[in-house]
């Protein structure tokens, strides 16, 4: 696919968002208004800007990623606009900022390439860990954590004299820094970690010192789970560690051990933490817990079931009845109004993005780039899988945003940084 | 090295495959169950907020319509322009109190097909009209209004039927209510007050309430005697002051406590015209409990009436029970004791006499029409049952005509029209009697002339209280309806 085709698809995705906004306004009895034009221009500026940055600084990059990201963002935006007009206005600003940051990443790496990131891996790790712990800052500080919906994963910056609070989720950025660190670390250590020749009974196990990273990963995930009550982030980080270890070593030992640890942690958490237990019970039988823990899941099922094959039509359903319809449950809103047809289009969009991302990893020449591209793709894939499995009741609800589609600036910016890094790796892979 | 990256990629892509299967399951397979779960708040919005088709009367007066909501886009508000006039027949669609009347019975026609079920999608693809259908009722608006005005503040019901087709021309129950007050989400207090009102304004007295028929049941007792060939109009009966009942201390006396004729003898015809209890108590015993029960069942007692609305089954004691109890047979033969009926069945019984003994299936919906007004289907008249022979029906019609021309039903007479009828004054312990009138006209319609059969009940004597009779309270209401139907001044 050529750059020109990519530009055409960006225009098409921008039109999709604009037409969606127009349909929502039609169903409210309004004629074309400024919202349609503003939406079109913002999408074009954000994704078009990224496209121009690629043309300038990463001309050899894959042209599959930006159109796919634009499509997913557009579908999510239509539902955000339909449910909460004010959130949509903020989301448009986020989109512009994210596009700018994505382009800035490409500019910064224009001559040094991603290789420069290897040099700063411990700095990046430290920053990442710091970001993860940031929400624990006490409330009295100017920069402090905030608890939203029972989870402490927000950070607020209060500037004295200005009546504005800047809030963001540092975990969204931290996950990218952790991928960069792991890709670099594993590129050096993978060979020794792949040696699995000690035997405990019939099982082959690696050298105990090589188990360190897995245990560290499990430890960090568990700390996050306990102190921030963030099931989603801890699960995402843990699954990411395991996936990257497997990619680097090819040893299913790490996957099995990781899975076992996750199950043990899950059982312990179930027994120890009320909020975990409630979520698991709500998952097993949401209808029995309809009035409390299962309410959100059930409302999601009602919405998706009501959407049926072709959906109620944009603007004609009641996705506003689902709690967190613009964030964690954006998929249920799409499923209600665009039907199974829309759901499958969205899932296929993610599959295409993931396939393209791994394609970049496989074509890359060295290990670091392979693991970087694979890890970044895995973050998007795992995050989407974890929250969608929760919405579709294959897994307990853990609370994660859906990359590209959910309302939220931090999430959108993180997704754009991932796209920019993948584009850069892809460019270097072909150069 | 690439192998493990590839494996990881496949594993994650497999995850999205599983999600596609899960989404298909959730939306297409289990979807309808989730959608129809009573806790799904969308149901409420759909039930009341979706567009429903219009309902018009036979003469195209709009009685139910969906208008776009002022406050919520895409939603409709159901309204009933005629207020309480059609409260029981058309019914209402309410968030809090459900759906009743024709709104409930014909909800499939009235609902839009515009949904995303497979059949809905296919219908849309094949060019089907997704807009809801409208209904044209058999009810004549003018007749309905006149019947309601004639009942006024009295509790009761009027049912008018075309005897040859079964079309319901008017169906009124009082006291009524304004269905518009039950539609919205804030209707709770209004609806609760109506539910708890001791006068039961929500009940359709025409179909969903049963009463002792009193003397109007003599039509069926007479039909039984005539059908079995036991009597003719000229058959002479004893004329006692009171009829002693065998095996019982109870007696049957006439309304005024006097003899029916001269104390020596009275013909069946005269006893019918004067509504003498003594003679019909005796006739019931002569026919016998077993045959009387069988004949009443031919008129539709102990049978469920096929109708668009719920109809309470009219009750007559079993033949086996009455066969050994002549006292009970005599009392039931004059429409007292155990026998219970609905105004609808009594209108059908009058219609049976008018229609040579044949009862048509009553119906309220004449046509179903599409959004552009084209009639899609029309109800074909069907026979429900044969109540009595044409010969008996003819004799009964003749006797009933004399009731209106010179007997207890004189106040139902319309100048220049041949009207037949029978009055009833049903004794109820502890309250004033129920006043009944059933009848029809014209007695022998000319070719192409339409006829009408009617049942009127006024509960507990209405405005007349203890002194009420069917002739004084119910018959004048019937006259008003007849006059409107025939287009003549009530005089």
| % of chain B at pLDDT higher than 70 | 93
Q: Which of residues 53-112 of B touch A (CB under 8 A)?
A: 73-74
CA-based radius of gyration for chain A: 22
Edge-to-edge strands of the sheet including B168-174?
Answer: B168-174, B156-161, B452-458, B431-441, B420-428
Phi/psi for B407 (5° steps) reads: -110, -145
pLDDT in the model for residue A416: 97
| Choice between B302 and A163, residue whose per-residue pLDDT is larger | B302
Quick check: B453 and B160 in contact, CB under 8 A? yes
**pLDDT tens figures, A318-348:** 888 888 888 889 999 999 999 999 999 999 9
Residue among A27, A196, A298, A306 with most chain B CBs within 10 A, to mutate: A306
Q: Is residue B21 less than 8 Å (CB to CB) from chain A?
A: no
* Nearest residue on chain A to B41, alpha-carbon basis: A321
Confidence of residue A46 (pLDDT cuts 50, 70, 90): very high
DSSP for B89-128, written as a single string:
TT--EETTTEE-HHHHHTHHHHB---S-SHHHHHHHHTT-
Phi-psi map region of B257: left, alpha, beta (phi>0 left; psi -120 to 50 alpha): left
- Cβ separation B27–A301 shorter than 8 A: no
Residues from chain B that touch A249, judged by Cβ atoms under 8 A, are 4
**What residue ranges define each of the domains in chain B, with the CATH number in brackets?**
214-486 (3.40.710.10)
- Cβ separation A381–B37 shorter than 8 A: no
- Cβ separation A370–B22 shorter than 8 A: no
* Nearest residue on chain A to B10, alpha-carbon basis: A355
Quick check: A368 and A388 in contact, CB under 8 A? no
Over residues B277-282, mean pLDDT: 94
pLDDT greater than 70 at residue B112: no
Dihedral sign from CA coordinates of B477, B480, B484, B487: positive
- Cβ separation B37–A335 shorter than 8 A: no
Question: What residues have CB less than 8 Å from A339, skipping those under 6 apart?
Answer: A307, A308, A309, A310, A311, A312, B27, B116
Q: Is residue B18 less than 8 Å (CB to CB) from chain A?
A: yes
Residues from chain B that touch A236, judged by Cβ atoms under 8 A, are none
Is B215 one of the catalytic residues? yes
In the DSSP assignment, the letter for residue A156 is: E
Q: How many A×B Cβ pairs under 8 Å?
A: 155
Question: Helices A34-57 and A409-430 sit at what angle, rounded to 10 degrees?
Answer: 30
**pLDDT tens figures, B227-256:** 988 999 999 999 999 899 988 888 898 888
pLDDT greater than 90 at residue B313: yes
Identify the CA nearest to B384 among candidates B405, B414, B355: B355
- Cβ separation A362–B2 shorter than 8 A: yes
- Cβ separation A351–B30 shorter than 8 A: no
**pLDDT tens figures, B389-437:** 999 999 999 999 999 999 999 999 998 899 999 999 998 888 899 999 9
- Cβ separation A347–B20 shorter than 8 A: yes
* Nearest residue on chain B to A290, alpha-carbon basis: B39
Confidence of residue A157 (pLDDT cuts 50, 70, 90): low
Minimum distance, in Å, between the CA of residue B50 and any CA atom of chain A: 11
Cis peptide bond N-terminal to B442, omega within 30 = yes
Distance, CA of A171 to CA of B353 (rounded, Å): 86
Residue among B10, B13, B15, B114 with most chain A CBs within 10 A, to mutate: B15
* Nearest residue on chain A to B114, alpha-carbon basis: A312
Of the partner residues B1, B37, B121, the one whose CB lies closest to the CB of residue A309: B121
Confidence of residue A165 (pLDDT cuts 50, 70, 90): low
Which candidate in B112, B215, B314, B451 is catalytic? Answer: B215
Identify the CA nearest to A333 among candidates A86, A23, A75, A148: A75
pLDDT greater than 60 at residue B187: yes
What average pLDDT does chain A have?
86
pLDDT in the model for residue A171: 81
Torsion, Cα B236 B238 B244 B247, to 10 degrees, reads -50
pLDDT in the model for residue A162: 55
Of the partner residues B5, B34, B40, the one whose CB lies closest to the CB of residue A370: B5
pLDDT in the model for residue B116: 43
Residue among A242, A294, A308 with most chain B CBs within 10 A, to mutate: A308
Minimum distance, in Å, between the CA of residue A95 and any CA atom of chain B: 26
Of the partner residues B30, B33, B118, the one whose CB lies closest to the CB of residue A309: B118
Residues from chain A that touch B116, judged by Cβ atoms under 8 A, are 307-312, 339
Confidence of residue A16 (pLDDT cuts 50, 70, 90): very high
Residues from chain A that touch B115, judged by Cβ atoms under 8 A, are 308
In the DSSP assignment, the letter for residue B272 is: H
pLDDT greater than 70 at residue B165: yes
Q: Which of residues 35-54 of B touch A (CB under 8 A)?
A: 35, 37, 39-42, 45
- How do B251-253 and B365-369 pair as beta strands? unpaired
* Nearest residue on chain A to B75, alpha-carbon basis: A316
pLDDT in the model for residue B123: 61
Residues from chain B that touch A347, judged by Cβ atoms under 8 A, are 16, 19-20, 23
pLDDT in the model for residue B2: 85
Minimum distance, in Å, between the CA of residue B46 and any CA atom of chain A: 10
Minimum distance, in Å, between the CA of residue A136 and any CA atom of chain B: 32
- Cβ separation B16–A347 shorter than 8 A: yes
Question: What residues have CB less than 8 Å from B97, skipping those under 6 apart?
Answer: B182, B187, B191
Over residues B163-188, mean pLDDT: 90
- Cβ separation A362–B4 shorter than 8 A: no
Over residues B209-226, mean pLDDT: 95
* Nearest residue on chain A to B21, alpha-carbon basis: A344
Identify the CA nearest to B13 among candidates A69, A252, A243: A243
* Nearest residue on chain B to A363, alpha-carbon basis: B2
| Choice between A105 and A144, residue whose per-residue pLDDT is larger | A105
* Cβ count within 10 A of residue B448: 5
pLDDT greater than 90 at residue B459: yes
pLDDT in the model for residue A234: 82
- Cβ separation A243–B30 shorter than 8 A: no
Over residues A222-237, mean pLDDT: 76
- Cβ separation A247–B5 shorter than 8 A: yes
Confidence of residue B44 (pLDDT cuts 50, 70, 90): low
Question: What residues have CB less than 8 Å from A302, skipping those under 6 apart?
Answer: A321, B34, B35, B37, B39, B40, B41, B42
Residues from chain B that touch A362, judged by Cβ atoms under 8 A, are 2, 5-6, 9
Question: Helices B326-333 and B289-298 sit at what angle, rounded to 10 degrees?
Answer: 30
CA-based radius of gyration for chain B: 28
Q: Supply the ipTM of this predicted assembly.
A: 0.93
**pLDDT tens figures, B321-367:** 998 999 999 999 999 999 999 999 999 999 999 999 999 999 999 99
Dihedral sign from CA coordinates of A352, A353, A358, A361: positive
- Cβ separation A315–B8 shorter than 8 A: no
pLDDT in the model for residue B47: 61
Q: Is B487 helix (H, G, I), strand (E, B) or coil?
A: coil
* Nearest residue on chain A to B22, alpha-carbon basis: A392
In the DSSP assignment, the letter for residue A58 is: -
Residues from chain B that touch A25, judged by Cβ atoms under 8 A, are none
In the DSSP assignment, the letter for residue A45 is: H
- Cβ separation B73–A29 shorter than 8 A: yes
Of the partner residues A340, A355, A393, the one whose CB lies closest to the CB of residue B27: A340
pLDDT in the model for residue A398: 83
Of the partner residues B5, B9, B32, the one whose CB lies closest to the CB of residue A305: B32
- Cβ separation B15–A381 shorter than 8 A: yes
pLDDT in the model for residue A365: 86
pLDDT in the model for residue A131: 83
- Cβ separation B1–A304 shorter than 8 A: no
């Amino acid at each position: 696919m050529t750059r020109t085709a990519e530009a055409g698809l960006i225009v098409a995705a921008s039109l999709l968002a604009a037409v969606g906004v127009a349909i929502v306004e039609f169903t409210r009895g309004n004629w074309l208004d400024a919202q349609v034009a503003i939406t079109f221009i913002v999408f074009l500026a954000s994704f078009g800007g990224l496209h121009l940055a690629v043309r300038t600084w990463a001309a050899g990059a894959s042209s599959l990623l930006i159109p796919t990201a634009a499509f997913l963002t557009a579908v999510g935006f239509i539902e955000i606009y339909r449910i909460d007009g004010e959130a949509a206005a903020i989301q448009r600003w986020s989109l512009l900022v994210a596009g700018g940051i994505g382009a800035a990443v490409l500019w910064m790496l224009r001559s040094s390439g991603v290789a420069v990131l290897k040099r700063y891996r411990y700095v990046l790790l430290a920053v990442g860990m710091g970001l993860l712990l940031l929400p624990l800052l006490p409330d009295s500080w100017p920069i402090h954590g905030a608890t939203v919906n029972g989870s402490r994963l927000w950070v607020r910056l209060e500037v004295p004299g200005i009546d504005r609070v800047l809030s963001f989720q540092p975990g969204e950025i931290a996950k990218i820094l952790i991928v960069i660190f792991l890709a670099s670390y594993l590129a050096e250590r993978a060979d020794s970690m792949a040696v699995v020749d000690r035997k405990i009974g019939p099982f082959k196990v690696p050298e105990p010192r090589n188990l360190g990273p897995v245990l560290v990963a499990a430890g960090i995930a568990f700390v996050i789970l306990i102190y921030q009550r963030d099931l989603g982030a801890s699960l995402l980080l843990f699954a990411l560690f395991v996936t990257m270890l497997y990619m680097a070593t090819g040893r299913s030992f790490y996957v099995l051990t990781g899975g076992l640890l996750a199950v043990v942690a899950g059982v312990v958490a179930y027994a120890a933490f009320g909020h975990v237990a409630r979520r698991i019970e709500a998952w097993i039988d949401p209808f029995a817990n309809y009035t409390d823990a299962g309410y959100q899941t059930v409302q999601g099922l009602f919405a998706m079931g009501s959407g049926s094959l072709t959906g109620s039509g944009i603007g004609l359903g009641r996705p506003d009845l689902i709690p967190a319809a613009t964030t964690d449950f954006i998929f249920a809103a799409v499923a209600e109004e665009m039907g199974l047809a829309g759901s499958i289009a969205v899932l296929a969009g993610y599959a295409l993005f993931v396939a393209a991302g791994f394609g970049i990893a496989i074509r890359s020449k060295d290990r670091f780039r392979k693991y970087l591209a694979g890890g970044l793709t895995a973050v998007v894939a795992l995050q989407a899988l974890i929250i969608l499995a929760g919405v579709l009741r294959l897994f307990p609800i853990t609370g994660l945003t859906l990359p590209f589609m959910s309302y939220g600036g931090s999430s959108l910016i993180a997704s754009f940084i991932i796209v920019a890094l993948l584009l850069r790796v892809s460019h270097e892979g072909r150069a | 090295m690439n192998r493990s990256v590839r494996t990881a990629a496949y594993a994650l892509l497999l995850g999205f495959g599983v999600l596609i299967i899960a989404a298909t399951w959730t939306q297409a397979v289990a979807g309808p169950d989730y959608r129809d779960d009573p806790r799904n708040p969308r149901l409420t919005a759909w039930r009341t907020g979706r567009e429903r088709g219009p309902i018009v009367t036979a003469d195209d007066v709009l009685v139910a319509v969906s208008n776009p909501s002022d406050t919520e886009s895409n939603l409709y508000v159901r309204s009933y322009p005629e207020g309480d006039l059609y409260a029981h027949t058309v019914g209402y669609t309410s968030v809090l109190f459900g759906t009743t009347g024709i709104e409930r019975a014909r909800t499939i026609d009235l609902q839009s097909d515009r949904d995303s079920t497979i059949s809905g999608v296919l219908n849309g693809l094949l060019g089907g009209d997704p807009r809801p259908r409208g209904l044209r009722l058999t009810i004549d608006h003018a007749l309905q209004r006149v019947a309601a005005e004639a009942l006024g503040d009295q509790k009761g019901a009027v049912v008018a039927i075309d005897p040859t087709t079964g079309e319901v021309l008017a169906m009124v129950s009082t006291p009524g209510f304004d269905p518009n007050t039950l539609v919205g989400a804030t209707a709770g207090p209004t609806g609760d007050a109506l539910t708890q009102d001791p006068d039961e304004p929500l009940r359709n007295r025409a179909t969903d309430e049963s009463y002792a028929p009193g003397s109007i049941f003599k039509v069926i007792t007479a039909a039984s005697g005539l059908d079995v060939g036991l009597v003719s109009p000229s058959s002479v009966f004893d004329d006692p002051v009171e009829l002693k009942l065998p095996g019982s201390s109870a007696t049957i006396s006439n309304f005024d406590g006097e003899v029916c004729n001269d104390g020596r003898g009275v013909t069946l015809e005269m006893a019918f015209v004067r509504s003498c209890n003594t003679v019909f108590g005796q006739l019931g015993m002569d026919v016998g409990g077993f045959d009387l029960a069988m004949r009443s069942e031919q008129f539709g007692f102990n049978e469920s009436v096929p109708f668009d609305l719920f109809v309470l089954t009219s009750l007559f004691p079993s033949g086996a029970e009455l066969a050994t109890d002549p006292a009970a047979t005599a009392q039931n033969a004059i429409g007292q004791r155990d026998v219970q009926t609905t105004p609808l069945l009594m209108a059908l019984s009058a219609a049976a006499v008018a229609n040579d003994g044949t009862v048509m299936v009553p119906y309220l919906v004449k046509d179903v029409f599409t959004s552009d007004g084209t009639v899609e289907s029309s109800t074909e008249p069907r026979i429900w049952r044969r109540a009595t022979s044409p010969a008996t029906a003819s004799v009964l019609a003749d006797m009933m005509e004399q009731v209106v021309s010179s007997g207890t039903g004189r106040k139902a007479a319309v100048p220049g029209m041949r009207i037949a009828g029978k009055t009833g004054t049903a004794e109820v312990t502890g309250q004033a009697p129920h006043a009944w009138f059933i009848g029809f006209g014209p007695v022998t319609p000319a070719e192409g002339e339409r006829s009408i059969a009617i049942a009127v009940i006024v509960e507990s004597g209405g405005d007349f209280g203890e002194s009420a009779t069917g002739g004084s309270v119910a018959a004048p209401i019937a006259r008003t309806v007849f006059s409107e139907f025939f287009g003549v001044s009530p005089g």
